[in-house]
Structure 1
Amino acid sequence: MKTQICIIGGGPSGLMLSQLLDRKGIETIVLEKHSREYVLGRIRAGVLEHGFAELMREAGCGARMDAEGEIHDGFEISDNGVLRRVDLKRHSGGSSVVVYGQTELTRDLYDARAAAGGHVIHNVEDVVLHDLNTEGKPWVTYRDGDEIVRIDCDYVIGADGFHGVSRKSIPADVLTEYEKLYPFGWLGVLSRTKPVNPELIYAKSDRGFALCSLRSQVLSRYYIQVPLSDKVEDWSDEAFWDELKARLPDEVAARLEAGPSIEKSIAPLRSFVTEPMRWGSLFLAGDAAHIVPPTGARGLNSAASDIYYLYHAMMDHYLKGDDTGLEQYSQKALARVWKAQRFSWWMTSLLHRFPETPGYDQKLQETELAYLFSSDVALASLAENYVGLPF
């Protein structure tokens, strides 16, 4: 097989880039190690920044998002029972976010690729990337049963996540990796219940952090901070709801609708960045290059900014003969990635209870939160980052 761009990873990042490029007449093949059903079964964040929503529309995939997604002009922060609202629209100069589940977003992208006759190959095994940094063109192989299939291409996009083959294909002495591991995780529950609040609630309490989120008006997503030693089986549904209520303001806890969990999982929190994001004809995007804690809703949105830069770089290369975007991709992407890292680290540090934190640090955390709501400038900084910095 032959194509212009081979994309490793059939999640939202890879599918979106494939869809965007296809609309410009640029050929792609997407390779995904799992089935479509598996990919759509992954429960992930659903807060989309302004720029991400615009990309979905440009890809021709925004109709259902616009019809069913919820526009949120703000969110609330609870500090040991005291609720205060962050007015995103006011403090960001008129921008907002869209709450739309990643599963539905990915389904829309899959449907668009199918309608366009896009080449998405599932259940591929033993993917190997060849000649990424040579004078010749790269090529990719994968195993289909007993057969080894070869794809010749101009460029390879590694959008296959933290554990994927793409980053591992770059020599270790080329990469510099930065990582911060947090001493806790998030226990998340998805339930078919009415959301407790029309907007998200980020709750800081002496018992630990909690988040009240939603996927729709009948589907809620809740999280609580737990020690890394906890396991999902340690938490019954009843225990989860009791602990969540204990971390929320009384008036919120009183109206919380509990129900059986549809999905329950624990995710450790980490920050990770690898530099550079390009090696020869290989370009990394999304979780293959960087991971953030979910506190600031930057994970999927950071991946979208990578796709924005790659999309425009590839358009300039193929349609204008201009390679400036390709040459500057790693630098431009990393500049925005590190800003997202800073914001996610700040939100996580602001709202979580860290074990064995000295009294001095606790006082600083309290002062930081008090300062936030005393300053329009501080709120504007929060809002600007939350709705999404310009590409």
Structure 2
Amino acid sequence: MEPNDAPSSSARAHELRASLGARREVEAMLAEASATREAAVADADAIIEEAQQVSDQLLNESRTEAERVSTDARHRAEGVVSRARSEAEDITRQARAAADAVRARAEAQVEEYRRRVRAELTEQVTREVAEQSRRELARVHERQQAMIGDLEASVRILGVSMEAAVSNIGEMLGALDSLRTHTAESLGDATVPFTTPPRHADPIDHLIRSTTAPVTDRSITDEPDAGTTAAIGAADDEPDDDGPGEGAPADAAGAAAAAGEESGDEAKDQRAELPPGGEYSADDQVSADELAGVGVSDDLDDADEDAPLTATEAFLRSTHHDDPPLPPMDDSEVGARYARDAMRASVRSRSRARRDAETIEVLTESSRTDRAARPARDERDGADDAEPSDASGKPLGWLFRSSS
């Protein structure tokens, strides 16, 4: 094994030398690496220190720049806010002015519309009130005309009744005169002077001529004349019919004519027996037979119709326009009917006037009570329209309300 040991030792020595050299190189490299590391550490420390200084400087600069930028931004923001505020105030002022103008135009339009509607309503109310007043006046005029017509009809009926009464009284007086003459002739009393007219040969002249003389020439007296009283008493004692009395003879008309002629011959003596009332003209002398001839008993006897039921019907029948005359009737019935109609008309007029006065008083009191009980409230409130009377007057109040 010895021959092989020599190369192996040299190789081992060579390997040892190589390993030593490598170790020396590694140590040198380690020393160099250590120096390099120390230098790198020193450079890193220097760089780190410089970086820290630079970062501090940059931080200070950035902080200063940030403060400056924030200050500038704050100033710019304050300027923008002030400009925005001024612009907002300008816009608000313009909007308020525009709203005021719109409100003024709207109020002007509302006032114009309210004035127009008020004028229309005033005209309409005036027209309605005028129309109602015209209707009321027309109704009052018609009522007055009706009342005047009824009164005229009643007066005409009274005139017809008075004419019939005058005719009846004349006939009865003529019958009484003829009866006196016939009685005197039958008894043969020759001592009775026939030249003296009977005391009621002309009795109605006192009633007819009482208004002929002027007022200044008359003597006012409260005592009735004896002739008139006797004539009226004789007329009341006789039956009130169209014909003569039951005791009158057949020749009553001739005797009445003879008595009328005798009374005409003694006109002066008869004038002295008239009641005091003034001087009368000669044309006013009317005898009993003439009064009897004026009567309408013949026309009344010829009527075949029934008796009138109302005053208007009697007036229409009594007028002289070729209508059938009134049938014969009792004068007391005509007088009672006329009195009844007049009484009813007066009662109706008084009751109507009293009813109108009560209605006016009730309406006035109710309106005064409503005004006193109604509280003062704003007419713009629409929630208080519970009562229909207030609701009817609310549109007028809204229209006539003055704008504030």
TM over 0.5: no
Between structures 1 and 2, the one with greater strand share = 1
TM-score, length basis structure 1: 0.21
- The structure that has the greater radius of gyration is 2
Between Structure 1 and Structure 2, the one with more helix by share is: 2
